[in-house]
Amino acid sequence: MEEITFEEIKRIQQGEKNLFDRVMLLYKEKVAGICFKYMRSAEEAADIAQEVFTQVYCNIGKFRFQSAFSTWIYRLAVNCCINRLKSLKRRSVINNAENTRDEGQYGVEKAADEGKPVDEELELKELKAIVMEELESFPPVERSLIILKDMEGFSCDEISAILKMPVGSVKSRSARTREKVRKNLIRKMGEKLGLS
């Protein structure tokens, strides 16, 4: 993925704010993806992404060039999502049932277009929804580990920088969390997953 250079960031810090459009162009999709996985609502994710970029713009002067710029932005995104989830308290405020249904329908149509078996695609969609629901019961750090490592594909070093956590802890905690997720899902979904 293309990264913005430190030279460009310095120019933004010195007042060349037009370059900020490039920051948005490069990072908006990834930031939106992270936000969506935390919030599970397209509208909410767009709002958080907007908040993230507003904070990036206002605080870009505080960037110290001690980490990759992307790491800094993703850390802001993760913090914003966790803060918003804390403030919402009850996830039922977000009406995500409607969103999930729409996405499921879209996924099935897409599968049919691509010639994949629709049953399999439906099952996968259902499983995805259950996984996301299960993740909601996890504490923010563990949820962040699964989202960043298993869903977004960040490396342990990157996650360590984003969450400000030692690399060893990232590895051990993500393995433990993954095991916990699987155990819970197998217990809950044994029949659906084909377990006797």
Partner 1 sequence: MDCREATDIILRFMPGEENLDAGVMEHISSCMACSEKLKAVLKITRAIGSADDFALPDDFEERVRRSIASTAEKKHGEGRRVFAYPLAAAAAVVFVIITLFNIRPAAIKQSGTVPAKKSNVTAVAAAPGRKVKSPGRTQENMPPRSVPATEKNTQQNDTVLASAIDEGGGKNDAVLSNTSALPASRSPAFQQPAQQPKTAVEADKRSGVSDASVKSGQTQEKMQAGAQVFGTIIHPSNNDTAQVKCSLTVPGQVRIVIYDRNGMIIKRVFSGEKPAGTFTVEWKGELDSGMTASNGIYIMYIKTEEFEQKIKLGVIK
Nearer to partner 1 by Cβ, of 8 and 126: the residue is 126
Name the site residues for partner 1 (rule: CB under 8 A).
21, 24, 28-29, 32-33, 36-37, 42-43, 45-47, 49-51, 53-54, 57-58, 87-90, 93, 103, 107, 124, 127-128, 130-132, 146, 150-151, 175, 178-179, 181-183, 185-186, 189-190, 193-196
CB 170 within 8 A of CB 145: yes
Report in angstroms how near the CB of residue 150 gets to partner 1 at its nearest.
5
Nearer to partner 1 by Cβ, of 66 and 188: the residue is 188
| CA separation for the pair 43, 23 (Å, rounded) | 21
Please, where are the H alpha helices in the chain? 6-13, 20-39, 42-59, 69-88, 96-114, 118-135, 140-145, 156-163, 167-189
Report in angstroms how near the CB of residue 178 gets to partner 1 at its nearest.
7
Report in angstroms how near the CB of residue 71 gets to partner 1 at its nearest.
20
Report in angstroms how near the CB of residue 69 gets to partner 1 at its nearest.
17
Q: How many CB atoms lie within 10 A of CB 73?
A: 25
Nearer to partner 1 by Cβ, of 166 and 190: the residue is 190
Specify the DSSP class assigned to residue 157. Answer: H
**What is the chain's alpha carbon radius of gyration, rounded to the nearest angstrom?**
19
Report in angstroms how near the CB of residue 65 gets to partner 1 at its nearest.
22
Nearer to partner 1 by Cβ, of 93 and 118: the residue is 93
Report in angstroms how near the CB of residue 50 gets to partner 1 at its nearest.
5
Continuous segment of H or E residues that includes residue 63: none
Would you say the C-alpha torsion 149, 154, 160, 163 has a positive or negative sign?
A: negative
Nearer to partner 1 by Cβ, of 11 and 128: the residue is 128
| CA separation for the pair 191, 123 (Å, rounded) | 13
